[in-house]
A and B are shown apart, each in its own frame.
Chain A
Amino acid sequence: MNKTVISRAGCLALMLALAGCATAPGGGSIYVPRGAEERTRAPEPPRTSEPEQDAEPPVWRKSEQPDIREPEAPATRSPSYRESGDELPAAAVSLIRDADQRLRQGDSAGAIARLERAQRIAPRSAEVYFKLAEAYVEGGNLGAAEQFTLKGLSLAGNDSRMQRSGWLLLADIRRARGNVAGADQAETRARAL
């Protein structure tokens, strides 16, 4: 039973390798350095020219905050969401490759250690969680594998390729756990994509 899981995961691996090379199609969380845009709300104070030299964290001085600084939020602002998870940075891809190699050698613990490093770097990319699921399948912990697959699916967004791999992986894991109905359901989802 685990064999099919692994073979499908193998397909996933190939896909990941390709995905790793692709560049991000927009999307992704906005990265905000410290104090960014602080200046859009208050007139820019005269700045000296030193570029971030040991810049202390922006200091909050109450006296400098005029009352007008609590306006109703601009109407254009609305809660944020997005339709797909993060792309993998190169560093995470290299850790995943390393993990793959360990998995091939049957070292699931070593693979998991590397994948957790990758997960810290790219905690919002579905691939990492699918890979963790795969490593847990190899290590015989199907319960954890199922949970990581679900987590990955929650981040797959509208990427139908990713969705499909996730549902197929879930179907295999559920079948291996004896949950035939759940497996069929997952397969139906995969087919509908």
Chain B
Amino acid sequence: MSKARSPRKKSSKPQLRRKRAGFWRFLFRAGAVGLVLLAGWMVYLDAVVTSRFEGRRFEVPSRVYARPLELYDGASISASGLARELALAGYRAGDGVRVGTYQRNGGRFVISARGFRFPDGEEPRRRLSLVVSGDRVQSFSVLAGPDSPIVRLEPAQIGGIYPSHREDRVLVRLEEVPELLPKGLMVIEDRQFYEHFGVAPLSIARAMLVNLKAGHIVQGGSTLTQQLVKNFFLTRDQTLARKGNEALMSVLLEWHYEKDDILETYLNEVYLGQAGNRSINGFGLASQFFFGEPLKDLDVHQLALLIGMVKGPSYYNPRRQPERAKTRRDLVLSEMAEAGLISAEESAQAIARPLGVSSRPSYTDNRYPAYIDLVRRHLARDYRQQDLQSEGLRIFTTLDPAVQNAAETAIRDTLPRLARGNARDALEAALVVTAKDTGEVLALVGGKDPEFAGFNRAVDASRPIGSLIKPFTYLAALEQADRYTLITPVQDRAFTLEFDDGRLWQPKNFDSKERGDVPLHLALSRSYNLPAVRVGLDVGIPQVQQVLRAFGVTTPISDYPSMLLGALSLTPAEVAQLYQGLATSGFNTPLRTIREVTDADNAPLSRYSLKVDRVADPAAVHLVQYAMQETMQEGTARSAYNLLPQRLSLAGKTGTTDQGRDAWFAGFSGDLLAVAWVGRDDNGPTALTGASGALPVWSAMMAQLPQHGFSPVMPDGVQYHWVNVQEQVLTGEGCPGARLVPFITGSEPRQRMDCEGQFGRQIRSWFEGLFR
């Protein structure tokens, strides 16, 4: 710590010897001028120090939280996932009794939850017991605390929105901090804190004496107030003038503010370490940074370490200089015992304990830069950047750390396998995962290096979507139930379109083959191009555009037929939005990354509620979902099941653009919707397709997460029939070629054929067509 000398007036006065009478007059005048100058200087310093004091007290970055983990019987989580989630929220393995610890025995967990103030109410401290078996929570019970069948853990903090000088704060209030902290601090740093007026000349004199004796600086005489002032203006120069100013400002601070205000600000302000380019200020943040725990949960030995570190945060850095730090901590502990703050026994016990510092700083830089980037963009619609950086807002996002982890792992592990050499180095990827029915963005990866806060492909790379457009073309067709059903034959034959200006367009299939008539469901699940263009032209491009707009495309859509093969550029996040409506049977659900924003005192500022909007007939969407399930089971995406369990029913669509410039896959299970993109930033060709490039990433992500299969509820106005697709007739279950296919009621074939191939007429019951 710094050494301070006795403050003296700053102004220098030329002393001239004159006549006696004149001398006194001169002295008087000079004194007056000096006083005026000093007063002016004091006014200036006063303005500087108070504005700094006020400013610092309130300049707090916004905190960004992951979604809280909800624990209840049946909750979907793996044991390792729960352990990871607990670690992320700052829980430590322990006895499960001490607050903030958990005990794990195989799949059995006992968690001592800290409690948290959520925007919609307080989640009290509780001890919980549960078993994770088969990737689900079972035998959930509350051992201590108010009983409830469902409990939220406090959410992990996943980032902050920092002011430009990159300082972070975890504000603590004086009445909340352990009593021992301010008391211990005073014992070590400033015993007369509550008596002095900002400076303590006696301590300074004593310090000087000690220092003179020792020949170097061993003791500082700065009061806590002086240290606070010094902290405001972090500069290294130790000039006498600077010391004088600091002392003056200290006195001024004391004059303006109560001791407790100064102490509280000190606790939140004092410099205690460095994390990269960010300084660790205040005990609240230091507690998180060094122990991964809130200040109020710290033990005596941990408090003593922090108190000891005030003297030299880098010199006594417990991660770099553990021995030095321990010596210092133990000294603090014995001083505390000597001063009667703790008993000798407590002191001895604490000295026997290790430093207890967490191995990794719990507040590194934003862990999920791509995700936070999207959160920022959403916030920017409603908040000023300045407020986000300084008002200490609490931002509750929808990020699911388990899903994010799965998404990052999938890209990291899969991408290197997709190509070799330079081709591999050039590959990039993006992945967006949302909760199917809520539209909450659970995970977002913006590139192959998820920790790199650079180009965010998930929200900025707008690329042609290729065949991802086809479900919407067929939806437009199937909405016309009198003209199209899933078994309607569509032509897989080449043709040439001639435009008004004489140009010709000849679409081709990916494999350049033609198959003649194929049923519509097959044309979609195998992603044939020729039928898609024919059907699209038949129902009309405007009709297809209208469907796309209803499902959320806001960018201009080309009027050219090439649009029907996906000449429409969208970002992965936009594709996720587009597919949300398909996954939820025609209900558009706006994607959200934020649930709520509150101010620092938990007063709600904004809520971003769930919204649904019916944009298509659920019956027609159900038919498209059928073909998209077929895509996974027998169509272009069947290789997904190399990685995924057969039992997990899924629906999806592959997309590939010319020469493999873009490989897409968009698909969903019962719980999750995900869109994967793989390609090159320079838009160069690759050897990949949607199925060989994007699908492996998608599947690798899905394979890591327990989830429900996709099994849509049959909507109103849909009936399933066994049909012989070849013959376009109804048939019996088990007959040769029989397939169970959904129809919009009334659009099923009229003719029936028995297993022997004998035709008969079906008698339609009168009510079947009643509600058409």
Contacts and interface: CB of A to CB of B under 8 A. Distances in A.
B703 A37 contact: no
Contacts of B708: 29-32
Interface string A154-193: 1111100000000000000000000000000000010010
Interface string B120-133: 11000000000000
Given A120-B435, A150-B614, A91 B72 contact: yes
Interface in A41-72: 41, 51-60, 62, 65, 69-70, 72
Contacts of B771: 189, 192
Contacts of B742: 81
Interface in A96-141: 109-110, 112-114, 116-117, 119-121, 123-124, 129, 132
A89 B138 CA distance: 12
A14 interface: no
Contact of A34 (B413, B696, B705, B713): B705
A80 interface: yes
Nearest to B150: A91
A80 B713 contact: no
Interface residues of B, number: 87
B322 interface: no
Given A34-B705, A123-B437, A80 B649 contact: yes
A99 to B, nearest CB: 11
A65 B642 contact: yes
B136 A82 contact: no
B703 A81 contact: no
Given A52-B78, A91-B74, A80 B629 contact: yes
Contacts of B614: 147, 150-151
Contact of B610 (A53, A90, A95, A132): A132
A110 B647 CA distance: 39
B714 interface: yes
A77 to B, nearest CB: 5
B740 interface: yes
Contacts of A38: 645
A92 B83 CA distance: 24
A25 interface: no
Q: Which residue among B438, B696, B708 has the maximum number of chain A CB atoms within 10 Å of its CB? A: B708
A40 B120 contact: no
B437 A119 contact: yes
A35 interface: yes
Contact of B711 (A34, A82, A112, A117): A82
Interface string B423-452: 000000000000111101000000000000
B81 to A, nearest CB: 9
A116 B80 CA distance: 27
A52 B107 contact: yes
Given A31-B709, A52-B79, A120-B70, 11 more contacts: A29-B708, A30-B649, A31-B706, A51-B106, A52-B107, A77-B633, A81-B720, A84-B713, A123-B435, A123-B671, A151-B614
Interface of A: 29-38, 40-41, 51-60, 62, 65, 69-70, 72-73, 77-85, 89-91, 94-95, 109-110, 112-114, 116-117, 119-121, 123-124, 129, 132, 144, 147-148, 150-151, 153-158, 189, 192
Interface of B: 70, 72-76, 78-80, 83, 106-107, 119-121, 134-136, 148-150, 406, 409, 413-414, 417, 435-438, 440, 584-587, 595, 607, 609-614, 618, 622, 625-627, 629-630, 633-634, 638-639, 641-643, 645-649, 651, 670-671, 696, 700, 703-716, 720, 739-740, 742, 770-771
